[in-house]
Amino acid sequence: MTKENDGLIRRWFAEVWNQGRVEAIDEMFAADGVAHGLSNDSGNPLRGPVGFREFHARFREAFPDIVVTVEDTIAEDDKIAARCIVRGKHAGDSMGFAPTQAQMEINRNQHRANQRRKNC
């Protein structure tokens, strides 16, 4: 299962973020999945593909040239962690403030567990 998880998390970043394929969210984000660390305007955790799609749309509008590079992954049984670098230019105002036109770079860790739940 570790190879499957590695492939899934790499596909998630390639298709959902780098290619902006919104339909891939439905394919890989479980209906009962929770995007831990992300919340909606009310402060509630993002749940399921519907909740995540709203965040994804706003973020991609703010950073239309976003590129996520998976630096490495560690997988064991049904769990995986990926270390990523996220880069992009803040060019849209969908995050609640005017675009700065500044380049951003974020070092991020993404975790995923349980094949049944897809990506979460």
The mean pLDDT of the chain is: 89
**What's the domain range around 65?**
2-117
Question: pLDDT-based confidence at 119, cuts 50/70/90?
Answer: low
Which distant-in-sequence residues (6+ apart) come within 8 Å of 7 by Cβ? none
91 SS3 class: coil
Domain with residue 35: its CATH number is 3.10.450.50
Work out how many domains the chain is built from and give that number: 1
The count of other CB atoms within 10 Å of the CB of residue 33 is 20
DSSP 118: B
Which distant-in-sequence residues (6+ apart) come within 8 Å of 102 by Cβ? 89, 90
pTM of the model: 0.86
| Higher-scoring residue by pLDDT: 99, 115 | 99
> Which tokens go with 83?
């270390």
> Which tokens go with 31?
């209906």
Residue 112 confidence (pLDDT) above 70: no
| Higher-scoring residue by pLDDT: 95, 18 | 18
Q: pLDDT of 42-97, one tens digit each?
A: 889 999 999 999 999 999 999 999 999 999 999 888 888 899 999 999 999 998 89
